[in-house]
Chain A
Amino acid sequence: MELLTLFFIVLIAAGLGLLIQWLPMRHQPMPTYPQRAPFLGGGLPETHAWNRYHVRYYPMTLLLIAFEMEMMFMYPWAVVFVEQGMKAVMEMGMFLAILSVGIVYGWREGVFKWQ
Chain B
Amino acid sequence: MIVSELILPVLLVTFVLVLGAYLVAVLDEAIAGALGMPRATSVWTAPLTQGAWLLTQQANATEAPDWRAWRLAPALYLALAAIGLAVVPFSPTLIPTDLVTSVVLWGSVEALATVVIFLHGWSANTLLALIGAYRYVALGLSYILISMFVLIGVALPAESLQFSQVVASQEGLWNVIRQPLGLPLFLIVGLGMTFWGPLNLADSRDLAGGTASAVSGPPRLVWNLARAAMLVAFSGAAASAFLGGWLGPWLPGPVWMLLKMLAVLAVLLLIGRLVPRVQPERCVTLMWVVFLPLSFVDLIWAGVEALL
Contact = CB atoms under 8 A, between A and B. Distances in A.
B61 A78 contact: no
B152 A18 contact: no
| Interface size grouping (class) on chain B | 35 or more
A78 B155 contact: yes
Contact of B222 (A20, A68, A74, A113): A20
Contacts of A36: 60-63
Nearest to A71: B148
Contacts of A94: none
Interface string B215-227: 0011101100110
A28 B57 CA distance: 10
Nearest to B219: A21
State the main secondary structure of chain A at its contact with B: helix
Contacts of B148: 71, 74
A9 B218 contact: no
Among the interface residues A13, A75, A82, which one has the most CB atoms of the partner chain B within 10 A? Answer: A13
Nearest to B220: A21
Among the interface residues B17, B122, B138, B304, which one has the most CB atoms of the partner chain A within 10 A? Answer: B138
Contact of A67 (B77, B145, B221): B145
Contacts of B299: 92, 96
A17 B155 CA distance: 33
B75 A107 contact: no
Contact of A81 (B64, B159, B288, B292): B159
B96 A9 contact: yes
Nearest to B306: A82
B208 interface: yes
Contacts of A49: 124-127, 129-130
Given A18-B71, A20-B218, A25-B218, A64 B10 contact: no
A25 B220 CA distance: 12
Contact of B82 (A10, A48, A64): A10
Interface stretch (B183-191, B253-261, B277-285): B277-285
A21 B10 contact: no
B9 interface: yes
B220 to A, nearest CB: 10
Interface string A33-63: 1011111110001001110010101001101
A30 B99 CA distance: 44
A86 interface: yes
B226 A25 contact: no
Contacts of A23: 218
Nearest to B111: A68
A31 to B, nearest CB: 5
A80 B5 CA distance: 30
Contacts of A106: 288
Interface in B128-175: 128-130, 134, 137-138, 141-142, 144-145, 148, 152, 155-157, 159-161
Contacts of B138: 57, 60, 114
B200 to A, nearest CB: 18
A29 to B, nearest CB: 8
A76 B284 CA distance: 29
B12 to A, nearest CB: 10
B307 A18 contact: no
A24 B72 contact: no
Interface in B268-293: 280-281, 284-285, 288-289, 292-293
9 contacts: A8-B10, A16-B75, A21-B222, A31-B58, A40-B127, A64-B141, A81-B156, A89-B307, A107-B285
